[in-house]
Amino acid sequence: MTPAPARSSDQHLLARVAEGDLHSFAEFYDRHAARTLGLIHGMVRHAADAEDLLQEVFAQVWAEAGRYDPQRSQPLFWLGLIARSRALDSLRRARRRGDGPGAAETAQQDGVADAAELAESAGLVRGALTRLPREQSEVIRLAFYRGFTHAEISALRGIPLGTVKTRIRLGMRRMREILAQVKVSA
């Protein structure tokens, strides 16, 4: 029995896509299209629009794979940023096409409210992080703010991979508890 071929990393696939490799592009698409569609659909709430945007996102991946920099982010983070940007652009266009007077003003007010809510949420998360043990907050910051994989954190900090995963899991569980307490008291 021949061994199964090794699965290419997303970074390797993007490097091959930048060279015009359709097979690598198809593999990257197959791996991430469903998750990306879910992200987009969660933002635009209309299935047909989400599917159209998914095609735009992957067209942009094909066109700009050469601009992907593995030093700046993980491939999924880069893909998520493209998807989020496309979805937000679509929502802005829809608001500009809104019916009736004041649609632009409403869109601007919604944007300000969204930004305020996002800033408040970010502040709550930062506050919850400060209440965690240092070992847990450190690995969570490396994973979610700096984009390191669990294996990279393990190598960087010189701790076993299982320890990294456990610290992240326990830290995230504790953060959920802290944030739930904040919501109850608000």
Conformational region of residue 37, where left means phi above 0, alpha means psi within -120 to 50, and beta covers everything else = alpha
Residue 153 and residue 138: Cα distance in Å, rounded?
10
**Residue located via tokens 């190598």:** 155
pLDDT of residue 5: 46
Output the pTM of the full model.
0.52
In the chain, which residues fall in CATH 1.10.1740.10? 7-97
pLDDT of residue 136: 94
Mean pLDDT to the nearest integer, 25-44? 90
pLDDT of residue 94: 82
Residue spans of alpha helices (H) in 131-160:
134-140, 150-157
pLDDT of residue 120: 62
In the chain, which residues fall in CATH 1.10.10.10? 115-186
CATH 1.10.1740.10 matches 7-97: yes
The CA R_g of the chain, rounded to the nearest whole Å, is 20
pLDDT digit string, tens, across residues 69-126: 888 888 988 998 899 889 888 888 887 776 334 444 444 445 544 555 555 666 777 8
Residue 88 and residue 78: Cα distance in Å, rounded?
15
Amino acid, single-letter form, for residue 127: G
CB 15 within 8 A of CB 8: no
pLDDT of residue 3: 44
CATH of domain 115-186: 1.10.10.10
Mean pLDDT to the nearest integer, 52-78? 91
Closest to 120 in 3D by CA, of 183, 35, 38, 69:
183
